[in-house]
């Protein structure tokens, strides 16, 4: 039996990918083989010795200390693109909420009193304060053209907007998906200086923390709208607050509320619901549960954020999965240990990614415990298990 510890609300469709006759899945469990989570913060949470894999049912992994798991030879999986459509739809909604002052107009309408004639009179008298602008013809800047950014850019083109994008690490896959109408900015500053609305779709990391700060807001057009459905921390909220106060920014729309933004009349703050649709929750949970299962049962790695993709079809025999540092002579030392135990290698696949590597080896017979311990003791081996 494999044990899977869950945090957060994981879609049942995903949990059902882990059959009950082979998996014990619970929110409280001792010695888990894997952790399945959404936004729960794992920073500072001790890593149980037993954990072999972590699955993030979503895109962002800034809630997971990936480097610490890497040192332990534990792959962290996510679900790239599985919730992108949900976020795209909320971003489009966010642009419309801001452009048409929908939140303030709704608040106004809900507090009206009196009979229909009075209400009608009040509506016609005051509606001018909620006059907005149309998205068609406006310029949208999309920072980060990954799974979400590409979908947002293409949808904005379909709405008649001019779209400019910036992503120095644009993948070939994203480039294929992106509308040819999307123009390319030369830099972040070039992008944000040109746009009427700016939407952020980058991960939170050391390069993107406070990427939108007072200096950058200063070069945005007066009256621009900022949308942040990426992460708190990418935007310096205090600077955005100042810009909203002076009118330099017309609106800030986000699903990452903070104290300074909560009650601000020009901020539209939502709970973190970008990915909260039945479809996205199911897509993410199914995607990542399948990856966790394939890793636990076959040692295969697909869509890990820290290890390379290593997938070998399962044949007869015993399989060894070894995570190691990407340094010379690892495979040589592992092979020697196996040869000394008189084990014959049927198949072997070794791949590296940055400082890490992963090796799958199919063998003709059982690995003696002392051989496994010898492999684990090789300098640079991070984890090794018989599968
Ligand atoms: N509000 C919500 O509920 C959700 C928020 N997110 C957030 O959105 C982020 C993006 O998600 P995806 O598009 O699925 O990820 P992705 O990995 O497909 O795309 C991210 C893109 O950002 C680019 N990028 C990285 N650093 C950059 C920089 N400094 N400047 C410009 N581009 C940069 C990358 O090259 C990549 O193309 C996630 O990391 C997560 O933080 C994701 C899903 C749901
Ligand atoms: O699970 C969620 O609702 C959070 C989604 C998210 O922020 C992500 O996938 O990065």
| Domain extent listing, the chain | 1-82+276-307, 84-99+135-269, 311-387
Check pocket membership of 39 for ligand 2, CB cut-off 6 A.
Answer: yes
Check pocket membership of 37 for ligand 2, CB cut-off 6 A.
Answer: no
Assigned CATH for 1-82+276-307: 3.40.50.720
Segment 289-310 mean pLDDT: 98
pLDDT in tens, 229-259: 999 999 999 999 999 999 999 999 999 999 9
Helices (DSSP H) in 37-130: which residue ranges? 66-71, 84-99, 102-110, 116-126
pLDDT in tens, 41-86: 999 999 999 999 999 999 999 999 999 999 999 999 999 999 999 9
Give the other-Cβ count within 10 Å of 74's Cβ: 23
321 confidence band (pLDDT: 50, 70, 90)? very high
What mean pLDDT value characterizes the chain?
97
Helices (DSSP H) in 201-355: which residue ranges? 214-219, 237-246, 259-262, 278-298, 330-340
Segment 311-317 mean pLDDT: 88
pLDDT in tens, 323-336: 999 999 999 999 99
**pLDDT for res 72:** 97
**Residue among 148, 205, 273 to mutate when testing ligand 1 (max atoms within 8 A of CB):** 148
**pLDDT for res 296:** 98
Closest atom of ligand 1 to 166 CA is: 31
Check pocket membership of 58 for ligand 2, CB cut-off 6 A.
Answer: yes
**Residue the block writes with tokens 């049962």:** 297
Give CA–CA dist 303/173, Å, rounded: 15
pLDDT higher than threshold 90 for residue 315: no
Residue nearest to atom 19 of ligand 1 (CA): 146
Segment 6-35 mean pLDDT: 97
Segment 176-205 mean pLDDT: 98
Of the listed ligands, the closest to the CA of 94 is 1
Give CA–CA dist 354/120, Å, rounded: 65
**pLDDT for res 121:** 98
**pLDDT for res 317:** 82
**Would you say 299 and 322 are in contact if contact means Cβ atoms under 8 Å apart?**
no
Segment 317-328 mean pLDDT: 96
* Identical fold between 1-82+276-307 and 84-99+135-269: yes
Check pocket membership of 276 for ligand 2, CB cut-off 6 A.
Answer: yes
CA 275 to ligand 2 center in whole angstroms: 6
Tell me which long-range contacts 334-342 makes (C-beta under 8 A, separation of at least 24).
334/359, 334/361, 334/375, 334/378, 334/381, 337/371, 337/374, 337/375, 337/378, 338/363, 338/367, 338/371, 338/375, 340/371, 341/367, 341/368, 341/370, 341/371
**pLDDT for res 316:** 78
CA 288 to ligand 2 center in whole angstroms: 13
Which 3 state secondary structure label does DSSP give 47?
coil
Q: Which fold has domain 84-99+135-269?
A: Rossmann fold (3.40.50)
For 311-387, which CATH superfamily applies? ACT domain (3.30.70.260)
Closest atom of ligand 2 to 61 CA is: 10
Segment 185-211 mean pLDDT: 98
Check pocket membership of 56 for ligand 2, CB cut-off 6 A.
Answer: no
**pLDDT for res 377:** 98
Q: What is the token pair recorded at 321?
A: 């999965």
CA 386 to ligand 2 center in whole angstroms: 33
CA 256 to ligand 1 center in whole angstroms: 15
Give CA–CA dist 380/324, Å, rounded: 5
pLDDT higher than threshold 90 for residue 170: yes
CA 17 to ligand 2 center in whole angstroms: 20
Which 3 state secondary structure label does DSSP give 244?
helix
Strand order in the sheet with 224-228: 183-184, 162-166, 139-143, 197-200, 224-228, 249-254, 267-269
Q: Which residues' Cβ are closer than 6 Å to ligand 1?
A: 58-60, 80-81, 83-84, 87, 143-149, 166-169, 174, 201-204, 207-208, 229-231, 255, 272, 274-275
């Amino acid at each position: 039996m494999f044990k899977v510890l869950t945090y957060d609300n994981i879609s049942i469709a995903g949990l059902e990918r882990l059959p009950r006759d082979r998996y014990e899945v619970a929110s409280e469990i001792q010695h888990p083989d894997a952790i399945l989570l959404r936004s729960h913060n794992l920073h500072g949470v001790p890593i149980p010795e037993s954990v072999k894999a972590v699955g993030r049912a979503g895109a962002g992994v800034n809630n997971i200390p990936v480097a610490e798991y890497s040192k332990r030879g534990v792959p962290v999986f996510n679900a790239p693109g599985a919730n992108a459509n949900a976020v795209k739809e909320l971003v489009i909604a966010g642009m419309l909420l801001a452009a048409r002052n929908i939140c303030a107009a709704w608040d106004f309408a809900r507090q009206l009193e009196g009979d229909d004639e009075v209400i009608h009179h009040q509506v016609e008298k005051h509606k001018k304060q909620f006059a907005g602008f149309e998205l068609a013809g406006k310029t949208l800047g999309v920072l980060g053209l990954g799974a979400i950014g590409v979908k947002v850019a293409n949808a904005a083109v379909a709405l008649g907007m001019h779209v400019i994008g910036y992503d120095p690490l644009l993948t070939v896959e994203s480039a294929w998906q992106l509308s040819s109408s999307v123009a390319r900015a030369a830099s972040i500053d070039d992008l944000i200086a040109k746009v009427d609305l700016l939407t952020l779709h980058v991960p939170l990391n050391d390069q993107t923390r406070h990427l939108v700060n007072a200096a950058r807001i200063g070069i945005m057009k007066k009256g621009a709208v900022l949308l942040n459905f990426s992460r708190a921390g990418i935007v310096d909220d205090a600077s955005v607050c100042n810009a909203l106060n002076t009118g330099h920014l017309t609106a800030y729309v986000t699903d990452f509320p903070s104290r300074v933004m909560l009650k601000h009349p020009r901020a539209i703050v939502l709970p973190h619901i970008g990915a909260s649709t039945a479809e996205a929750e199911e897509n993410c949970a199914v995607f990542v549960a399948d990856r966790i299962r394939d890793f636990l049962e076959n040692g295969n790695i697909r869509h890990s954020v820290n290890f390379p993709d290593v997938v070998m079809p399962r044949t007869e025999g015993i399989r060894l999965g070894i995570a190691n540092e990407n340094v010379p002579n690892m495979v040589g030392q592992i092979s020697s240990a196996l040869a000394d135990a008189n084990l014959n290698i049927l198949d072997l696949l070794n791949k590296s990614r940055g400082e890490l590597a992963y090796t799958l080896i199919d063998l003709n017979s059982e690995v003696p415990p002392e051989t496994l311990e010898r492999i684990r003791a090789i300098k640079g081996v991070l984890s090794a298990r018989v599968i």
